Structure 1
Amino acid sequence: MMEKFYTSVLLSRRVVHQTGKGKVRSHWYLVLTGNGNGLVGYGQGKHAKPRIALQQARAAAIKNMDYVERFEERTVWTEMSAKLGATKLVLRPRPVGFGLRCNPSLHQVLRAAGFKDISAKVWGSRNKMNVIKCAFMLLQAGHAPPGMGDGIGGKGAKLSRGVGMMGKMQMERARGRKLISLRK
């Protein structure tokens, strides 16, 4: 069953820790795992032997997998933004056939989660680890992503502040057809 999952190493580092006995070398990995149909997770592993560190990271990624809500199985429901450290990330829904137009590390995360039509912009620090964590903060927020209200009466972001009521002509243009008056 685990062979069906998409797994990719997002980051790898060779870390050196100075102790009284000398330098202790270890390997660190950040691994992404997803099934391409809404399940996605990431994990970290650190060990002196690279193969064991990779196994630890993959096990942590599988353990941290969570379902991601998708609109029409291809994009996000609405524009979402989050900030983590100096990294600011905005995910926008796009029409069918648009594709994934985003940061390369975000591209891997979104593809593993099963998204097909999204544009994303990263402002500030483009540190891969912060970009990935910020993306997971948005995607795995469940029923209450940041800025969308808390689900128990808390306020959400006002998306159309100051627009007011549409006139008849604006409504006809938006709907693509003439309005029929029901009054006689």
Structure 2
Amino acid sequence: MSGTVQTKPGQERQGGPGRFGRPERSGRPNRGPRKEEEVVWVPRTELGKKVAAGLITNMDEIYSNGLRIQEAGIIKKLLPDLKSEVIDVGMVQKMTPNGQQTKFKALVAAGNGNGWLGIGQGKSKQMRVAIEKATTNAFLNVSPIKLGCGSWECRCDQAHSVPFKVRGKGGSVVVEIVPAPRGLGLVAGGKIRNLLKLAGLKDAWTTAKGSTATMNSTSKAILECLRQTFSQG
């Protein structure tokens, strides 16, 4: 007597014995997207312990006292609406005695669209690790930005542009941001426009000179421009 399983006409075979006596599966189960486990922040510095305990509740207290931020968890705690965006990625090659070594580099910007912006860079042999390092550095480099209306054509009391004309330099790139009237929008290139949106600007004229394709220098020039609004304003 053979070991085959006979089925009636019109009846499909389900759950029959497969290879090595194991039941056959009609198809693979649908798996949802993999969820990464959130790492619980454990403060290590005195400032981090005060923030975790609720003794410090906003970023103004840190900057007014001149305290140094050494943990990205402090920024995430005090600025929960901060968002990160990858600006640029690339590869770095280095010749070593063992041969050519290749690493990935990433440039990430972090902002909440309401007067806070930070830019960080990270390198690693894996792209994911490089982005994580750049994101952490971007959180640590977050700086306050003063928004306002410095346009003589508008003269409103809303914080939609820069309060005055600012100029910044990063490497060979020089960027100038001029206040614009409300409703004009951001007159800038694609990547520069994204950085200004993360900072919270809605209307502005911009001019850029130099190798603007080098986002490392361009982002530094923009961050220096926006920092001047807080230091000089």
Checking the alignment, whether the CA contact within 8 Å between 1:39 and 1:68 is kept in structure 2 is: yes
Pair 85,49 (structure 1): closer, same or farther in 2 beyond 3 Å: closer
Number of residue-to-residue matches in the alignment: 145
Q: Which residue of 2 aligns with 1:144?
A: 232
Q: Which has the higher strand share?
A: 1
Q: Which residue of 1 aligns with 2:206?
A: 120
Say yes or no: does 1:94 pair with 2:180. Answer: yes
Say yes or no: does 1:54 pair with 2:110. Answer: no
Q: Can you give the 5+ residue segments of structure 2 that lack an aligned partner in the other structure?
A: 1-75, 149-157
Q: Which residue of 2 aligns with 1:149?
A: none
Inter-partner Cα distance in structure 2 for 1:41 and 1:101: 21
3-state SS of 1:109 partner: helix
Q: Which residue of 1 aligns with 2:91?
A: 14
- Measured against aligned partners, the alpha-carbon deviations of 1:66-100 in whole angstroms (never above 9, x if no partner) come to 11010032100112223344322211101111111
Checking the alignment, whether the CA contact within 8 Å between 1:103 and 1:122 is kept in structure 2 is: no
Inter-partner Cα distance in structure 1 for 2:135 and 2:100: 26
| Overall identity of the aligned pairs, in % | 26
What amino acid sits opposite 1:138 in the alignment?
C
TM-score normalised by length of structure 1: 0.73
What amino acid sits opposite 1:114 in the alignment?
G
Inter-partner Cα distance in structure 2 for 1:74 and 1:21: 54
Say yes or no: does 1:29 pair with 2:77. Answer: no
What amino acid sits opposite 2:97 in the alignment?
G
Inter-partner Cα distance in structure 2 for 1:25 and 1:17: 6
Pair 31,80 (structure 1): closer, same or farther in 2 beyond 3 Å: same
- Measured against aligned partners, the alpha-carbon deviations of 1:35-56 in whole angstroms (never above 9, x if no partner) come to 1111110101101111111110
Inter-partner Cα distance in structure 1 for 2:183 and 2:209: 25
Among candidates 106, 120, 133, match of residue 192 of structure 2? 106
- Cα RMSD, aligned residues only: 1.8
Inter-partner Cα distance in structure 1 for 2:119 and 2:96: 30
Inter-partner Cα distance in structure 1 for 2:221 and 2:188: 14
Q: Which residue of 1 aligns with 2:222?
A: 135
Checking the alignment, whether the CA contact within 8 Å between 2:169 and 2:220 is kept in structure 1 is: no
Checking the alignment, whether the CA contact within 8 Å between 2:121 and 2:138 is kept in structure 1 is: yes
3-state SS of 1:143 partner: helix
Say yes or no: does 1:39 pair with 2:116. Answer: yes
Pair 82,42 (structure 1): closer, same or farther in 2 beyond 3 Å: closer
Q: Can you give the 5+ residue segments of structure 1 that lack an aligned partner in the other structure?
A: 146-184
What amino acid sits opposite 2:134 in the alignment?
A
Inter-partner Cα distance in structure 2 for 1:24 and 1:89: 34
TM-score normalised by length of structure 2: 0.58
3-state SS of 2:167 partner: strand
Give the CA deviation at 1:103: 2.1
Structure of higher CA gyration radius: 2
Inter-partner Cα distance in structure 2 for 1:83 and 1:62: 22
Pair 136,48 (structure 1): closer, same or farther in 2 beyond 3 Å: same
Inter-partner Cα distance in structure 1 for 2:211 and 2:127: 28
